Structure 1
Amino acid sequence: MLLGLSPALARAQGRSSVPPPAHQAAIEQLYRGDYSRAERAFNNLLRGGIKTVQARWIDSICYHAMLGETYYLAGDNPSAMRQFDLALELYLANRTWLTTIEFRQDPRPDQSGPTHIAPWGASTRRPVASRITGGFLASIGRIDNNTQAQQGGVVQAAQFWPIDAVEVVRTTAWAVRRRAQLLGPLAAHDPLHKDVLESYSRGGVGPRGHWSQAWVELQWGVALAGSGRDDDALPHLQRAVLLGGKFDHALTGLALLAQGEIVMAKGDHAAAAALLGEASIAAYAYDDVSVIDEALRLGYVNHRLSGGGGPFPPLEEAGMWAERQQLDHVAARARVCRADELLAIRDLGVATKTLGRVGTGRNDIAGSPLGAQAARLRAMGRFLTGDTDGGYALLADTLDAQRRFSSRNLQIALTTQRFDTGGLSPRVASLVYPELLADPTPDEWGADPLDAIAVLTTDHRGALDRAIATAIGRRKIDEAIELVELAKRRRFFRSLPLGGRGAAVRRTLGAPPERLTSDERLERQGMRLGHPELAEASTSIRELAEGLRDEKTLFTADGLESDLLKRIKQLGAAVERRESLLPVAALAREQSTLGFPPHAPLEVLRERLADGQVAVVYHALGDEYYGFLLSKDDEHAWRVGTGAELSPELSDLLEAIAGGGQQKTWTYEELGSDAWLEPAERLSQRLLEGSRLDFSQVTSLVVVPDGLVWHAPFELLPVADSQETRLLIDETTVQSAPTLGLSLSDPRRGRQVRRTGVATRGVSREDEVDVAWEAYADRAPSPEPIVSGAPVSPTLLASLVDQLIVAIPSDLMPGSTGDWRPLPLAQSKGGELADWIRMPFGGPERLVLGGVHTAAQSMLKPSRRRGRSANAATRPGDELFFATCGLMASGARTAMLTRWPTEGEFDDELSAQFLLGTDRLPAAEAWRRSVLISRDARLNPRSEPRIDAGDADEELPEARHPFFWAGRLLIDDGGFLDAEDAETEASKAESP
């Protein structure tokens, strides 16, 4: 094909420069917030772009890049990625285009004077602005086409086009930078990004020794920064600031912006403030609205992260300038930042007025990420005015939108997609997944709390499963255990309205100092200063609760005295006040740690294990169950089996020991049978065969269950390789926890029990004895009856005791976690698990919940009942995970729950023996002692409603059958120290 055999100068052909004026007009539409029109305009430019024989030309780099930016600002990250991909693919196809430029003049000082001084400040760099006159010409095609003509190839004569070379460089650098931001940690492993970076490192991109090398340095610097090579990037970006080492130029602002981002990430907020301020000033001189907008955004975040008091200086002037220029997007940015400042000082009226001007008019801002930030602030305003329901409704919609807008969610999705299609190796996936799935850092909370909550409340189980499976496959068992721990914590976070952030704020302000880490104690100081009304409510709760706890007697059989009832209602009002204000702190730019469930590196957890203590962690990857063992000097993993394999074996054992329903009664013959041993041995092989445990060397077993394993009664499992039939509880202590961190979280001795609350069903006739009350009355310290009928939440009553015993039936079934009431008092409202989580700190550290019915009693058959829950559990066992997390979130350190209650005198006796032991023994030892003592006792059929008395002449059965003792689940944090050690730990916690 013959297109021409001789070069022709574009200026002789009357061609207009590219990109055409319509490109700049589209950029203006973009920053006016009219994203839809900008999108149409850039697509029109693409349709009219220059096309060579084989592809588009470099002018389309500009259109693709800015179309990508349009999608980015509108919140469509996948579409933005596609456009940035196309822009950079075009760059790579034309990587040497700068060498074809006809540079007609060197840059000269701009003698026109200070006509472009930013309204928000002047530069301190004493810059010398440059002027480049005469434009640029770039060639397409070949000057010598003889070889192609002779060999029959495609012949394209060289054509010269006037081109805005600066805009091509700017948009290329912008595409590199923004795409790397969207990719996050993936960028360093992304083939396209690596190709772009290599194109600069191997040279030949621009003319040697030429002043345009500053343009190359800019692109090279942002590519290095995108790969995480910040220290390598800085010298390139510094050389990009000046043309020929002398003059500011149209890309100076972008070079300074990229430097500011790097030093801000390093924590040098003073240097970042200077660089970002200079970036906005330099960008103003050359009408670069993109850099002005980014510099304002990053500058404001940097100002807040630095702890700088007062307003961010450029905001007011920059906002007014943007309004005069009708740049609604930039003006909205300034207004959102200003409203954020105003809410921080509780100037709600002006903040509301300021936000009222965001997202109005003929623009698309309301439905964009910027609009979501405005909605976050509006939700905070609703909370501050007491409209809690309205605040949560708006926040729910805003979080739905932010989950789509989130770059982190995009990065996790891309990582999974590339891993599944083979585009990401297991080695690289093992590097990227942990970084992407980690808890938000304090700086990330300070920079964008809305996005952090959105990520925490997004279901990333698929990504976590792949990360764990990859670690197992690479035999990185320590990494796998840490990821399993993360997966369990994330499961709990997803069940909470604020993704764990609200619980963190509640804990930071309300927990006793000895329960907080040093970081949390510093965060408490910051929150008290930033949210005095919330701190005041938390203080009121503590003072009211402590005053009530100091009362000699609170509860009597006749109920509460009127004065006490009044004070408890005041406590409830203080809790409601705190809860109405808590979302404000959660949504604010407060740095915080997600302290519950606690997280600690694996080596720290390993150090907390006592000699002879081992932890076994179970986790289901989809339907595949795995076990992980952690000891002082070892860790390994094994496959347990599928849920389909585990479920029938567990069901067989539960049927043999729990009887298959609440109506089942046991004959003496059944109670004397050991038919349950066979299914117990099968389940033991399923759960423990791959653990390589030598129980002769194990003194304490910590179990972290998952799914079905929550219903496995480990205490009765036969020990492998034993010469005789020995059950696990004969060999060692057994305790459980919902996460590994919670099982080894607090070595302190529990506080002294001053009051024990006892809630029972009472009696049905006046001549009957309250058997449960009698069991505890002489054995529990300072027992007081918690009776039904008080017009306050049962949770408030529970918060006033140190130890709580509940012998009232309740149902904890799959899907009903949100409805479950740990203290189910009749004629009382409230007290569901969500209320329990909000309980004032200082409540019961030890709980015995003796009337809980779970799916184990029906051999894990699905319940027809479905309750309400923010994250309703549908898998048997998940309800126990959420329940135990909720109990421990409120301060419980030990909790004894029944999977099935036996409902008789022995049930209460077993609990009483356990509580007697906890005064001088760790909870797991006290529980083992209780079982070993009590199971040899003779049962009284008259006091055991689940026993069929049969022939009165028969010998009374013993309580050795697991029905009577194996239905208990002991949850414990592992804490028990001598008094001297406990005092030392407390003194450490008091120091800042």
Structure 2
Amino acid sequence: MRAITRETIHKNFHQYQMKKFLKGIFSLLVFFAISFILSTVSVKAQDNSLPGAEYDWGIALLRDGRHADAAKQFESELRGGMKIATERWIDAISYAAMLGETQYQMGQLPAALESFSTAIRLSIQHASWPTKVSNIPNPGMFTLKAVPWVDPTPNRNLMRVPEKFSILFGDLYHGNKYRTGGIAMAPSMKSIRATKIFNGTMLAIRRRAELLGPLGAGDELNSQLLTQLTQVQRSLAGTWFQAWLEIEIGLCHLSAGKQDDAIQSLMRGALINGNAHPLTPISYVELGKLQMKSGHYEKAFNLFLDAATIAYHYENVEMMTEAFELLENAYCQRNPQMVCPQLGSAAEWAKAKDLPLLYATLQALRVNDFMRFKQVRPALEALAIAEKTIAKQDVSAGRIGAILNYQRARIALLDPTPQSQRLGMESLSRAMNFMRFGAVWNFHLQQVDIRLLNGQLTTRKALDAYQLLLREPTAVDWSLNPIESLAVSMTPRPGTWENFFLCAVDMEKKEEALEISERAKCAAYLQSLDFGGRMHSLRLLLESPENDLTVSQLQRKRDILTEYPNYEVCSQKVRNLQMKIRQMSLPVTQKDDGKTLTEALKEVTELSRRQEAILSAIVLDRRVIDVVFPKIRTTKEIQASLPKGEAMLVYFAARNQLFLFLLNNERMAMWKIVDSGAGIGSSRKNKSNENLLTSLQLNFASMLKEMGLGSGNIRPEILLETNWKKAAQRVMADLTKNSQANFASADFTSLVIVPDRFAWYVPFETLLIQTPKGARPTISQFAIRYAPMASLGTPWKNTQLPKSPYSMIVGGKNMPSEKIQNRFEKTLKRPVIFEEKSYGGISPGTPGTVSSVFATEFDKMFVFADLKNDESASYSIFPMALDYGTREATLGYWFLLPHGSPRLIFLNGMRTQCESLIKKASKSSKKQLQAIPGQEMFLTSMAFLANGADTVILPRWNLSGSTPWRLMTHFVDQLPENKNSAYAWRKAILKLASSEISVNAEPRLAKSDDVEQISCSHPFFWAGYLLIDSGSGSLQSMERLEKLAAEKENASNLPPVNAPAKPRPLALPVPENEEEPNRQDSKISPANPAPQKPEGNGALAPLPPMGGSGNTQAVPMGGNVPVPLD
């Protein structure tokens, strides 16, 4: 037996005490648990009204900004609410509506729409529930209390409405269900909070109408609810439930677009016997919105103020928040000279009552109010308070968070320092990241797209909806909702524009289809720029000559310059400095001259930086800024601008289809590209190929491949072959099948081509057409020029800016002989050679000498050097090539001030995706294009034209050596002698094509022992360039033509005796190897046209063909009369 020691006794005693302590703790926990359960049951027993306390808890979470928790709460109640068998009861209306509101505030608009639709379906299903409410009591009257933001307290009568009502639950005749079938539910009385249910239905109608936008007019759910409410209202005549139903009916009318009916119903339901009630704020808010749309801001302000005040008495914080948001907007439109006094008082009250979301919203509204007067310090203080209030809450990532980021951007952009500008752009980026999916306007467009593609929307209705929604934001839009207007301007939506275009095509509205294609291209360009092109438009508005602006644009320009006079002061100084620079002698050779030039350029840079700071302070204001470039024309205006003898061919790609428009000043045809069934590109032979427009692309790639492109250096022997001509004929067949275009017998001599997508790479000049002398390239028939948009294809400027006497030449590694260089320089008045180590005598990197500033001082810019750009690059290219790697030298910085650009720009070394397209078209190739085909050509040409260029020449494929120098020599030499650049370009090509070149003079040609000299008649040498021009002609050519016209008129007025011979009429330039056609012996002439074979009318082109004999005969490419260049 073990001995009992003192230690054992102590040990056992301590174990006993520990067991006793643990038992006590356990008993205490059990007591508290039972107490909690009993208290919960007691609460449930005391208040079993629906919606119940859980609903109130969800509302409290919303008011705290805890939207994720609130969403979970409402979802839980929606699943677990009262049900009749498996069907939800009327309390679910409130849960679904508030769940939708939570999702709406967080930018989850598709989910919000579905939640609101659920609430509407439940409201339709239980539409008769108000008739089952028993013993509707007579309401009492409120004892008014002081309102913090209104002094004195308004003298009005407010009804005291009971919170709870008894309603019949089940069926008095439930016994019949056993015989007839259905759910048998014994009758009982339930307690409901009718105001919450009515409020849920009204919220669902209002938000759903907001989310549907123009689609709400034909909404089936809204129509069904309106029918049900109208029937129920008749059975409630004489009760004050009738007034609440009137508001619901008015909201349904508003959703359906019946504004007059809506106003009548909302006014009838706003008051009961002249007294306000808990739902009056809803009626007042909607009536106030209608007053805002009508421009009656004073009436709207009073309605919103009344709504906020009444909501205060009924403790409806959600309606107070909405009313104050609208109140501030209406107050701003009244344009008072003081901040809104109600906002500060309301904010203090919200803080005292611990309502974080309302408090943050009011502070955000105060920021906007302060910013009207550029009061930065109080705006920053209010912004900091708002951000701190919701910093740790879910709602900071929602709609209020986006608004605060937008306001932060506005304040930061007022500060011209680089750090503040960067912070401002980061804040704006965060705001727009939310608004791209959280903006209601963007959601409207998304809904139209989805319903159209799903067959839920007719083409006609979709066309009308797109016409409304794809408008440029108006002055009213910017004034009432600037963040939505900016979001819709900055959100790319090429698919939506394509849907819009195809709707017009399906409706056979070809004129409207062309206009839509123009707007789509304009939107694609503007959305590639900062602020959706808003900053760009602001620069052009202030820098454009007054003659190039409309009356409204001119007024807006004067208003801005009056408000910001320092901008015009800087502009005048910049113009004076630029005039001084143009009077200097370049290139500078003396140190003092170089210092003077550098200082002048440095001052121009500094003045421009100040101007940019002013623009940053303006760009996010609540003001409309018209799009100055590009100027979109209607189809009628484009046709009227085309002179006689000129036609325009416009491409537009939509949903893997390519459409073409051919128009002159009288007629217009439209057709869709179809498979011609010819060649390797036939879709019957390539059914598995998923490339865009398989037939045309493969035939085009085949043509380029036959020309030797796409595989590095080219063997000279390939250029002696003519296989490319068969592929060129196939491409022309693809372009014209099922159309009425007959280029062989066209009645025009000049052709403007507006490409789209990969059509930018198609060398239209090489496509063969049948002539009396056989197949000839189109360049032998027409003067061809290109334009990025149809609206820019004909002269669009009214004013010519001051001209610089200097021309810039940037050579490259593969320079031609000195003789060829000298010949080119002699065609220019004051050429300035730019080498790798200097800018006309100025060291690179010197302040003010980056190309984006320096290039504005030149009239012409010829860059033969390799730009070393990515194939898909546009704004990131370095146009001058010499300052490669300097961020401020990229094309994107050319948009910044000082405004200006050389009038003629030639970029020989720009790399494009053209040859990559050949590799992608190959079945065995895995190479993918880096961007949308042709996008780099479109954006680059638009950038140069926007900054002041008249003529831009871009390469499709790379060429170096002497060929580009020769071509430019011919072109510049012909400019003063021809009608416009296109005619000069045509003659330059014909001259080059009739010459020969040494194989060693072209780096892209592989060395050959068999071929030393090769003819330039092959399109490899001349078809790789696009001449982008409006056809306005140079000043020299216009002066020469005016002089010839005057001489002709004078000659016609001389007496017939001994009168000199009349001057010959102007005609197309004849190349040196082309003989003047003998018009007397010609079988085909304007007076004796060739017989026309009637063309089949395509489904999209019912107009007669543009036939007739051309003014010139076809000329062969090549020949035995070389043009000596070396």
1:859-912 deviation line (CA, Å, top 9, x unaligned): 74479xxxxxxxx95233222122112222322232112324543555334324
Native 8 Å contact 1:616 1:703 kept in 2: yes
Residues 583-622 of structure 1 mapped to structure 2, 5 A cutoff: 583-622=616-655
1:379 to 386, 401, 409: 409
Residue in structure 2 matched with residue 466 of structure 1 by the alignment: 499
Relative to structure 1, the CA distance from residue 344 to residue 779 in structure 2 (aligned partners, 3 Å threshold; closer, same or farther) is: farther
Which residues of 2 match residues 524-603 of structure 1 at below 5 A? Answer: 524-528=557-561, 535=567, 539=571, 542-543=574-575, 546-548=578-580, 550-556=582-588, 561-579=594-612, 582-603=615-636
Contact 1:259 1:275 in 2 (8 A): yes
Report the Cα offset of residue 286 of structure 1.
Answer: 2.6
CA distance in 2, matches of 1:462, 1:343: 37
Distance 1:508 1:206, change over 3 A: farther
2:1020 aligned to which of 947, 963, 972: 963
Alignment-derived partner of residue 790 in structure 1: 844
Matched, 1:219 2:268: no
Task: Give secondary structure in 1 for the equivalent of 2:753.
Answer: strand
In the alignment, which residue of structure 2 is the partner of 1:52? 84
- Give the corresponding residue for 1:514: 547
Per-residue CA deviations over 1:685-713 (Å, capped at 9, x if unaligned) read 22233442234223432222122211111
Q: Please identify, of 312-321 and 654-663, the stretch whose mean Cα deviation from structure 2 is larger.
A: 654-663
Deviation at 1:821, TM superposition (A): 1.5
The within-5 A match list for 1:250-265 is 250-265=278-293
Q: Is the 8 A contact 2:94 2:119 kept in 1?
A: yes
Give 2:36's aligned residue: none
Distance 2:999 2:110 in 1: 68
Deviations 1:782-801 (A, max 9, x none): 44444534322112111122
Aligned pairs for 1:116-265 within 5 A: 117=147, 119-120=149-150, 127-132=156-161, 136-200=165-229, 204=233, 207-208=236-237, 210-244=239-273, 246-265=274-293
Do the aligned residues in 2 keep the contact of 1:510 with 1:538 (CA within 8 Å)?
no
Q: Which residue of 2 aligns with 1:364?
A: 394
Distance 1:664 1:165, change over 3 A: same
RMSD in angstroms over aligned alpha carbons? 3.7
1:637 and 2:666 matched:
no
Residue of structure 1 in register with 2:725 after alignment: 677
Q: Which runs of structure 2 are paired with 1:530-929 in the superposition (5 Å)?
A: 535=567, 539=571, 542-543=574-575, 546-548=578-580, 550-556=582-588, 561-579=594-612, 582-631=615-664, 632-640=666-674, 642-657=692-707, 659-660=709-710, 663-664=713-714, 666=716, 673-695=721-743, 696-719=746-769, 724-744=774-794, 746-748=796-798, 750-751=800-801, 753-761=803-811, 769=818, 771-772=820-821, 774-787=822-835, 788=838, 789-791=843-845, 792-811=849-868, 813-825=870-882, 829=886, 830-856=888-914, 860-861=918-919, 873-900=930-957, 902-919=959-976, 921-929=979-987
Structure 1 residues 885 and 952: CA distance shift in structure 2, 3 A? same
- The answer (yes or no) to whether the contact 1:627–1:691 under 8 Å persists in 2 is no
1:678-735 deviation digits (Å, cap 9, x = unpaired): 2211111222334422342234322221222111111222235766323322333322
Give the Cα separation in 1 of the matches to 2:1031 and 2:222.
48
1:139 and 1:981 mapped to 2: Cα distance? Answer: 89
CA contact (8 A) 1:747 1:977 kept: no
Looking at structure 2, the residues matched to 277 and 702 of structure 1 have their Cα atoms a distance apart, in angstroms, of: 59
Contact between 2:960 and 2:1002, CA under 8 Å: does it hold in 1? yes
What's the CA shift string for 1:60-118, capped at 9, x where partnerless?
Answer: 2122212211222233223322221111111000112223333534456x363x42545
Secondary structure of 1:217's counterpart equals helix
CA distance in 2, matches of 1:521, 1:498: 22
Alpha carbons 2:807, 2:829 under 8 Å: kept = no
Cα distance in 2 for residues equivalent to 1:580 and 1:550:
26
1:48-87 paired onto structure 2 within 5 Å: 49-53=81-85, 55-87=87-119
For 2:206, what is the secondary structure of its paired residue?
Answer: helix
Quote the offset at 1:260 in angstroms: 1.5
More displaced stretch, 42-51 vs 880-889: 42-51
Change over 3 Å in CA distance of 1:640–1:617 after alignment to 2 = farther
Deviation track 1:127-161 (CA, whole Å, cap 9, x = no partner) reads 43333459543333333345334435433344333
* 1:210-235 residue CA offsets vs partner (Å, 9 max, x unmatched): 44332222112222222333333222
Contact map agreement 2:75 2:99 (CA 8 A) in 1: yes
For residue 247 of structure 1, report the CA deviation from its aligned partner. 1.8
Q: Distance in 2 between matches of 1:611 and 1:367?
A: 59
Aligned residue type for 2:423: G
Alpha-carbon distance, 1:335 to partner: 1.2
Q: Identify if the C-alpha distance between structure 1 residues 505 and 827 changes in structure 2 by more than 3 Å, giving closer, same or farther.
A: closer
CA distance in 2, matches of 1:356, 1:471: 49
Structure 2 residue identity aligned to 1:837: F
Deviation of 1:327 (Å): 1.8
Query: Aligned match of 1:310 in 321, 330, 338?
Result: 338
Q: Contact 1:749 / 1:979 at 8 angstroms: preserved in 2?
A: no
Deviation at 1:598, TM superposition (A): 3.4
Deviations 1:512-546 (A, max 9, x none): 3334344433333454466667x369636743654
Task: Give, in whole Å, the separation in 2 of the partners of 1:680 and 1:170.
Answer: 69
Q: Which of the pair has more CA radius of gyration? A: 2
Indicate conservation of the 8 Å contact 2:412/2:424, yes or no: yes
Unaligned runs of 5+ in 1: 1-12, 864-871, 983-992
In the alignment, which of 414, 435, 442 is matched to residue 475 of structure 2? Answer: 442
Which of 293, 296, 308 is the equivalent residue of 1:268?
Answer: 296
Residue 734 of structure 1 aligns to a residue in which SS?
strand
CA distance in 1, matches of 2:336, 2:994: 68
Deviation at 1:554, TM superposition (A): 4.6
Q: Which residue of 2 aligns with 1:989?
A: none
Equivalent-residue separation in structure 1 for 2:46 and 2:359 (angstroms): 39
Give how far 1:638 is off: 0.7
Deviates more, 1:82-91 or 1:536-545: 536-545
Q: CA deviation digits over 1:759-810, x for unaligned, max 9?
A: 2327999x963734x3443433444444534322112111122332323332
- Shift of the 714–202 alpha-carbon distance from structure 1 to 2, 3 Å rule, reads farther
Matched-pair contact (CA < 8 Å) for 1:625–1:643: yes
Is the CA contact (8 Å cut-off) linking 1:750 and 1:976 kept in structure 2? no
TM-score by length of 2: 0.77
| Residue deviations 1:287-327 (CA, integer Å, cap 9, x gap) | 22222211221232344455554323422222222222222
Deviation at 1:812, TM superposition (A): 5.3
Contact 2:339 2:369 in 1 (8 A): yes
Partners of 1:537 and 1:574 within 8 A in 2: no
